Amino acid sequence: MDAIGLRALLDGLPVGIAWFAQSQLIWRNAFVRECIDAHDPQALQALVAEIAQRRGGDEAATHAVGPANESFRANGREFHVGVHRTREHTLVLMLPAGEHAAFFPSIRRLRQAALDFEEIFRHSYDGIFVTDGNGKTLMVNPGCERIFGLKASELIGRDVVEFEKKGWIRPVIAAQVARTGQRISTTQETHTGKTIFTTGIPLFDERGSVRKVIINSRDTTELLQLQDALARARADLRRVDQEIEVLRLQNLQVDGIVLRSEAMRRIATLAARVAKVDATVLITGQSGVGKDVIAQLIHKESARAQGPLIKINCGALPRELLESELFGYEPGAFTGAQRQGKTGLIEIASRGTLFLDEIGDMPLDLQVKLLQVLQDRVIVRLGGTSTIPVDVRVIAATNRDLRAMVADRTFRDDLFYRLNVVPIEIAPLTERRDDIAPLALHFVNEFNRKYGVSRTMSEQAMALLIACDWPGNVRELRNVIERVIVTCDCDVIAPEFLDCMLPPEVAENQPGTFREQVERFERRLVEDAMREYGSTRDVAKALGLSQSSVVRKLRLKG
């Protein structure tokens, strides 16, 4: 391209270009002539002279176009100026302010990126702290001010070492990051008592030296507070759930039986928990303690509650009848059998619960067939050959010692282990006297409704009931209450009338006057408390008695 073509090209550019030699204008393109010289011929000359005077005899220097470089106004417009100088020549590039983005799209992208960075930096909830490679603070965002409790003006321009000396932040890590060139994470303590989790990240220049350190800080005090609050909320929910469960169990009624004592609440809680799965349960305890009540509770609280609860007493039926009742039989299976056959109780209990009471009385040959039901979940009717699948949950109960029976070979060990998946032992009524009063009151209300009367139990009569040992347990207590309600000729049941109603085995165990029986009961309570607390002082405090009363009751003869 010749000189004329080059000038034509430069005249067509939308930016100003001017060439000076020894501060004298040699040439300028059309943009300069039309936009600047035509309105103020001396403006550009004055600008170059000012630049030359301000920079003196500097060697050649190159400056990129941008707001940080030379600028001037002419013809009511502002221009950004880039200057390239040698000792004899000066080349000036002029760009109208606000229009450079149209000519250089990358500048627009850079400006938007800078704006985005500024927004992110300012709105980050975490603290962002920037230093140079020597530890001088360059930038601090609002999150950092909030976390450290200091204003940006107090931090920017200062060496981070000062912050540790003043006790504002301990320890500072920017200097260590700059020295090692490694990322470092640690916890810091602020002068306001906050605990901060901090990470320092080095930024490197082209020579591999640390030019900046970025510190990211998060207030773990708030996080720990949130974790504590969450833990407390979860604990409160668990406590509420437990209290609701306790209240539910305290007032739980299964066929009119109320569970109140601590021992029975523990059993009821276990039974309600076991009810959620189909595990086989073995309930043990003396006759009359309420084994059937726990079986009913398990069924009621289980997913099978809508299905049948079938109970059979294994000790109340002869061996042949028990087998046919349990497994059923086909038509013509034996002499006297129904013509159409019969469905067994195990089949009837399908999708429900089969309660085998007095399982210790089941004959050995039937134990084998029951074991097959537990293992394979199928039955074979008497006189039949085909297997019938059954979906049944088995609960067994006994007042006998099955382990001893296994040792004597009167009960199969394999069946025992199949039944004893979840053992539940119910204590006798004499070991859970807290149940006696609520049970007695419930039975009084039950029989009042049944017989159309309105009997009440005097405090002295109730004390006598609590003092009794009840070898027949809950069943015996219920029978006594019913007898009293039916035979008593007054509305308030006195201890004297109740005393003559007690069965012989109970009366024999409770000799003496009513007062003597009450004193024995009080002495038993004190002795139990002594075993628990160990000293008469602590027993007196626990029972609300004087220490002398505790000593006196311990000296009473049984």
**Residue 416: what pLDDT?**
95
Q: Residue 271: which of 245, 250, 251, 297 has the closest Cα?
A: 297
Residue by residue, DSSP assigns 75-134 as: TTEEEEEEEEE-SSEEEEEEEETTTHHHH-HHHHHHHHHHHHHHHHHHH-SSEEEEEETT
Q: If you ran DSSP here, which 8-state letter would residue 257 be given?
A: E
Q: Residue 222: which of 158, 152, 147, 113 has the closest Cα?
A: 147
**Residue 63: what pLDDT?**
38
- Mean pLDDT on 232-237: 85
- Domains in the chain, start-ordered, CATH in brackets? 3-103 (3.30.450.20), 124-222 (3.30.450.20), 277-427 (3.40.50.300), 432-553 (1.10.8.60)
Report whether pLDDT(512) > 90.
Answer: no
Instruction: Name the pairing type of β-strands 352-357 and 392-398.
Output: parallel
Q: Residue 367: which of 378, 357, 375, 359 has the closest Cα?
A: 359
Name the least confident of 60-69, 137-146, 151-160. 60-69
Helix (H, G, I), strand (E, B) or coil at 324: helix
Q: If you ran DSSP here, which 8-state letter would residue 261 be given?
A: S
**Residue 86: what pLDDT?**
72
- Mean pLDDT on 304-318: 90
**Residue 228: what pLDDT?**
82
Q: Token digits for 116?
A: 């985005």
- The position carrying tokens 């007042």 is 399
Whether the bond into 105 is cis, omega within 30 of 0: no
432 — pLDDT class (breaks 50, 70, 90): confident
Better-predicted residue by pLDDT, 46 or 342: 342
Better-predicted residue by pLDDT, 75 or 194: 194
**Residue 75: what pLDDT?**
74
- The position carrying tokens 């985005």 is 116
Q: How far is the C-alpha of 506 from the C-alpha of 129, rounded, in Å?
A: 85
pLDDT more than 70, % of the chain: 83
Enumerate the β-bridge partners of residue 82.
93
Enumerate the β-bridge partners of residue 493.
457
Q: How far is the C-alpha of 277 from the C-alpha of 422, rounded, in Å?
A: 11
Average pLDDT, the chain: 81
**Residue 395: what pLDDT?**
96
Instruction: Name the pairing type of β-strands 253-254 and 257-258.
Output: antiparallel
- The position carrying tokens 């039926």 is 317
Q: If you ran DSSP here, which 8-state letter would residue 181 be given?
A: -
**Residue 324: what pLDDT?**
87
Q: How far is the C-alpha of 522 from the C-alpha of 104, rounded, in Å?
A: 102
CA 278 to chain centroid, in Å, comes to 26
DSSP H helical ranges for 149-219: 152-155, 160-165, 174-180
**Residue 52: what pLDDT?**
64
290 — pLDDT class (breaks 50, 70, 90): confident
- Mean pLDDT on 326-345: 80
Q: Residue 72: which of 49, 91, 90, 88 has the closest Cα?
A: 49
**Residue 65: what pLDDT?**
35
Name the least confident of 215-224, 378-387, 394-403, 445-454. 215-224
Q: Residue 167: which of 183, 152, 150 has the closest Cα?
A: 150
**Residue 51: what pLDDT?**
67
Q: Crossing angle for the helix pair 514-533 and 459-467, nearest 10 degrees?
A: 60
Report whether pLDDT(250) > 60.
Answer: no
Q: Token digits for 61?
A: 């220097």
238 — pLDDT class (breaks 50, 70, 90): confident
Residue by residue, DSSP assigns 364-378 as: HHHHHHHHHHHHHSE
CB half-sphere exposure, 61, CA atoms < 13 A: 12
Residue by residue, DSSP assigns 234-252 as: HHHHHHHHHHHHHHHHHT-
Predicted model pTM:
0.51
Report whether pLDDT(531) > 60.
Answer: yes
Q: How far is the C-alpha of 462 from the C-alpha of 498, rounded, in Å?
A: 9
**Residue 103: what pLDDT?**
57
505 — pLDDT class (breaks 50, 70, 90): low
Q: Token digits for 11?
A: 């005249």
Enumerate the β-bridge partners of residue 140.
129
Tens of pLDDT, residues 257-266: 566 777 888 8
Q: How far is the C-alpha of 175 from the C-alpha of 155, rounded, in Å?
A: 15
Asked if 398 and 360 count as a contact pair (C-beta separation under 8 A), the reply is yes
Better-predicted residue by pLDDT, 543 or 484: 484
Give Cα separations from 11 to 20, 84, 104, 417 (angstroms).
17, 19, 19, 106
Q: If you ran DSSP here, which 8-state letter would residue 149 be given?
A: T
Instruction: Name the pairing type of β-strands 456-457 and 492-493.
Output: parallel
**Residue 58: what pLDDT?**
46
